[in-house]
């Protein structure tokens, strides 16, 4: 196992030989790329911690010296992790967190079915590695994974995806019969139907020596009667049994009690928080960026639980009203309720990180592009509530390229970017390079001739009648569209004449860029663990970048994983 070095967290963004810069990846936001590569442009929206002129180590020591309710929080963490059957190392880390001066490196994610998409694993690996880095520098740092059990969007967590034995993308869903609409997903109970979902999931995995252990871990974690968040925690504890990650479930009553004063303070300052967020969002948009979270001047940063459902509130003068209801509270009534019954409340996205950093001595938070975007808005909330911001860093980002797919890519001179827009561009490149070059050149020649002739025709028509020139442009577009349609049919017909080549490229596309999206956002970790075994987690740990990192391409499937050139 490699030992990480966190002396220069900006170094990862300069390592491009074996990675892709996010500026080269479609649909990446400008806010995220400037955060990574042109920080001065966004410096007013983020804390400087982690940059070379403001070292994370110094920030961590400052955070560790501040006062936190360590005993009550760590007592709650022990209960949560005992329910999850976490390893002994996790409990050693909880004991470390009790000590003054220790800090937490935190990430979080929704409790996706069977751990959800791959980036859940990438997030956990990043906090584990960054915590070890700080410990090597003399700072007692603990990796913490925040299970977003209070989220109420069940449709976001009730499924996962993998590639089946034939190379097709499959979605496994679990619909719980014991679910209240808009209830926190952590309160959803798993019923007997989970067995069918597990059967389906296992049936899609390739036969291997690792399947029996995987099936046992999943069945014992997702047993009938368990809460959705507890099941997720149990499986995460098994995946990371050797790494001591501390799992935190914010629905734990002891944590709610510790958070009660912050809830009441957020209610007292609800108008200031809303106005600060609106102003910060406006500043982001005026700077040419997007506001990740929609905010309004009447918003309240807390949900209230009404008959088990999370209900948003709005504020008008000194009254707080439940949305789509005639019920309302005065500010004093709501403050008193928050202190008396913190379990009656749940923070929304604008307050959740502040709750996290009230409970934990958070030196750094590891997030994906969307989370990093909303931290640009949340600085306003930290300032309003006089709370210390964490260092915000991106999670490790990978595409895992199996040996067979690497062989296909090398043979046909394909790169990951060739799959960005799906199968067709990749197949087109294969056909044009190797399968039917002559016909491909004829299409190119025909397209050039059409454009050239229409250019001449339009110049002539302009002299006669401008409306005829407009009609010519319309005819040009229709003819070129039909030519492109014919070309697409030709490409797929040519590829299908060599079924083996077509299937190889199709399999590679499905695994590397499923549904035109990054693999880490779609596929589940057990697709890979069923093929390469639990040792793959250690290989991913070694390859994970900490700091302001690029998107890494990782070749797996040999004796050991190795990074491959992105170019």
CA 418 to chain centre: 23
Ranges of the chain with pLDDT below 50:
1-2, 559-567
Residues in the chain, how many? 567
For residue 7, give both structure tokens. Answer: 């002396």
The pLDDT value recorded for residue 434 is 66
For residue 89, give both structure tokens. Answer: 């190392």
Note the helical H segments in 222-314: 228-239, 253-268, 270-286
Structural domains in the chain, CATH included, are 1-153+233-400+518-567 (3.40.50), 154-232 (no CATH)
Residue 75: Cβ within 10 Å count = 16
The pLDDT value recorded for residue 4 is 60
From CA 46, how far away is CA 371, in angstroms rounded?
12
Q: Using an 8 Å Cβ cutoff, are 33 and 373 in contact?
A: no
Q: What's the angle, vertex CA 171, arms to CA 170 and CA 173, rounded to 5?
A: 150
For 307, residues 6+ apart whose C-beta sits below 8 A from its C-beta are: 180
The pLDDT value recorded for residue 561 is 38
From CA 170, how far away is CA 510, in angstroms rounded?
10
The pLDDT value recorded for residue 124 is 98
The pLDDT value recorded for residue 497 is 65
From CA 466, how far away is CA 10, in angstroms rounded?
57
From CA 313, how far away is CA 315, in angstroms rounded?
7
């Amino acid at each position: 196992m490699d030992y990480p070095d966190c002396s220069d967290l900006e170094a990862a963004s300069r390592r491009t030989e074996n990675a892709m810069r996010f500026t080269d990846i479609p649909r990446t936001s400008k806010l995220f790329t400037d955060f990574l590569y042109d920080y001065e442009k966004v410096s007013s929206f983020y804390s400087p911690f982690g940059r070379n002129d403001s070292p994370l180590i110094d920030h961590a020591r400052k955070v560790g010296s501040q006062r936190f309710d360590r005993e009550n929080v760590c007592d709650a963490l022990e209960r949560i992790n005992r329910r999850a059957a976490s390893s002994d190392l996790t409990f050693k880390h909880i004991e470390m967190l009790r000590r003054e001066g220790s800090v937490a490196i935190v990430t979080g994610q929704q409790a996706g079915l069977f751990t959800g998409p791959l980036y859940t694993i990438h997030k956990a690996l990043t906090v584990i590695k960054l915590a070890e880095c700080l410990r090597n520098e003399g700072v007692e740092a603990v990796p913490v994974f925040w299970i977003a059990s209070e989220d109420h969007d069940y449709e976001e967590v009730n499924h996962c995806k993998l590639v089946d034995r034939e190379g097709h993308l499959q979605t496994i869903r679990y619909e719980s019969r014991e679910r209240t609409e808009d209830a926190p997903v952590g309160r959803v109970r798993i019923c007997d139907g989970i067995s069918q979902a597990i059967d389906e999931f296992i049936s899609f995995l390739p036969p291997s020596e690792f399947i029996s252990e995987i099936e046992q871990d999943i069945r014992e974690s997702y047993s009938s009667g368990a809460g959705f968040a507890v099941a997720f925690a149990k499986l995460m504890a098994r995946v990371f049994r050797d790494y001591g990650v501390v799992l935190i479930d914010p629905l734990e009553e002891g944590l709610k009690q510790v958070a009660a004063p912050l809830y009441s303070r957020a209610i007292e300052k609800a108008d200031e928080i809303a106005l600060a967020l609106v102003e910060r969002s406006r500043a982001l948009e005026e700077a040419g960026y997007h506001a990740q979270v929609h905010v309004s001047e009447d918003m309240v940063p807390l949900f209230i639980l009404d008959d088990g459902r999370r209900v948003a509130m709005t504020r008008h003068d000194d009254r707080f009203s439940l949305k789509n209801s005639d019920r309302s509270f005065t500010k004093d009534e709501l403050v008193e309720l928050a202190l008396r019954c913190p379990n009656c409340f749940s923070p929304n996205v604008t307050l959740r990180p502040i709750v996290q950093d009230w409970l934990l001595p958070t030196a750094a938070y590891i997030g994906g592009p969307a989370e990093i975007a909303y931290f640009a808005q949340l600085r306003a909330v930290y300032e309003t509530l006089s709370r210390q911001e964490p260092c915000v860093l991106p999670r490790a980002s990978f595409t895992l390229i199996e040996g067979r797919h690497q062989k296909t890519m090398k043979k046909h001179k394909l790169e990951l970017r060739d799959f960005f827009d799906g199968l067709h561009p990749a197949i087109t490149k294969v056909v044009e390079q190797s399968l039917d070059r002559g016909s491909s050149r004829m299409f190119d020649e025909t397209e050039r001739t059409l454009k050239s002739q229409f250019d001449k025709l339009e110049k002539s028509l302009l002299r006669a009648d401008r409306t005829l020139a407009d009609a010519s442009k319309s005819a040009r577009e229709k003819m070129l569209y039909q030519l492109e349609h014919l070309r697409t049919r030709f490409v797929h017909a040519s590829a299908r004449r060599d079924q083996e080549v077509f299937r190889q490229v199709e399999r590679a596309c499905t695994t590397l860029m499923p549904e035109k999206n990054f693999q880490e956002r779609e596929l589940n970790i057990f697709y890979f663990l069923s093929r390469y075994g639990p040792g793959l987690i250690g290989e991913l740990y070694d390859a994970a970048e900490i700091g302001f990192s690029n998107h890494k391409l990782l070749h797996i499937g040999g004796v050991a994983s190795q990074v491959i050139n992105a170019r």
